[in-house]
Amino acid sequence: MDLVIHLDRLTTMQRAAVLDLVDDIYTSQSRAAEEPPTDTRTPEEAFVPNDGALAAAIGASTPPSADTAPSGASPSTVTIGGVSIKVDKTGLPWDQRIHAANQTLNKDGTWRARRGLNDEGLTKRIEAELRNAMKAPAAAVPPPPLALVPPPAPAPAPAVPLPPVASADIPASVPQPPAPAVQGEGPPTTFPEFARWFTGQAQAGKLTNTLLLSTLNAFGLDSLPALATRPDLVPSVYTTLMTLVPA
């Protein structure tokens, strides 16, 4: 019987277990060649392991995987500035750059890592940004504007009769075209709306990335992606930048 083992498909611990087993086989075969045979079986029949022994050796060396373990927890929700944000057991918000797209948790209650992400330095840097963003104070809610009472309208002036004018002297009235309506967009209230607005301002040369970063730092944010985790700060950041846009 021929047994084919694909070592490149095994983990490090599995490969070590298989190599130890193969080494025992060859050692036993060498001893059998030196000593007088005690049975009628060939060396191949005597020392080729069965599939059950090999499967047991491989299975015993395979540690349980956190990625395949069933998740026993679900994300919790915190509310900051009237906006709900999903966080894991440690209070870390979900971020598509380092976390799984389906927003599931590991068995220990932490976010499951994005598939294929092996950069520990990048993960720690983004986690630090997210935690700093969660510590930023909530945006202050401005008071409602005061209602202005319009002054009373002045009394109409008495009508003064005009002298009659000959109909031949009355010029034909020319209708005037209506004034074009001014199309304007309201201030952004979500992160995607803010990102589109800032991109347009930057392309027009009115705002720079340096100015944006200094404004974000004033609100306790380290970068533009950190603003996505704090949508309650979008109106305040926008209002601050509007005061810096040149006329």
Q: Is 192 exposed, middle or buried (0-12, 13-18, 19+ CB in 10 A)?
A: exposed
pLDDT at 60: 45
pLDDT at residue 173, as a whole number: 54
pLDDT (0 to 100) of residue 246: 78
Say how far apart CA 187 and CA 230 lie, in whole Å: 17
Other beta carbons within 10 angstroms of residue 194's beta carbon come to 22
CA torsion 70-73-74-76 (nearest 10°) is -160
Rounded CA-CA distance 197/203 in Å is 10
pLDDT at 69 (0 to 100): 44
Predicted confidence at residue 172, as pLDDT, reads 54
Residue 135, pLDDT score = 83
pLDDT at res. 245: 81
| Regions of the chain short of the pLDDT cut 50 | 54-55, 57-62, 64, 66, 68-69, 71, 170, 178-184
Question: Domain residue spans in the chain?
Answer: 7-60, 76-135, 191-242
DSSP state of 85: E
pLDDT (0 to 100) of residue 180: 42
| The model's pTM | 0.41
- Give the C-alpha separation, 190 to 228, whole Å: 8
Cα–Cα distance between 183 and 141 in angstroms, integer? Answer: 27
pLDDT, residue 109, reads: 92
Report the distance separating Cα 166 and Cα 156, nearest Å: 28
Name, in order, each residue with C-beta under 8 angstroms of 135's C-beta and a sequence gap of 6 or more: 220
CA angle 116, 121, 124 (to 5 degrees): 95
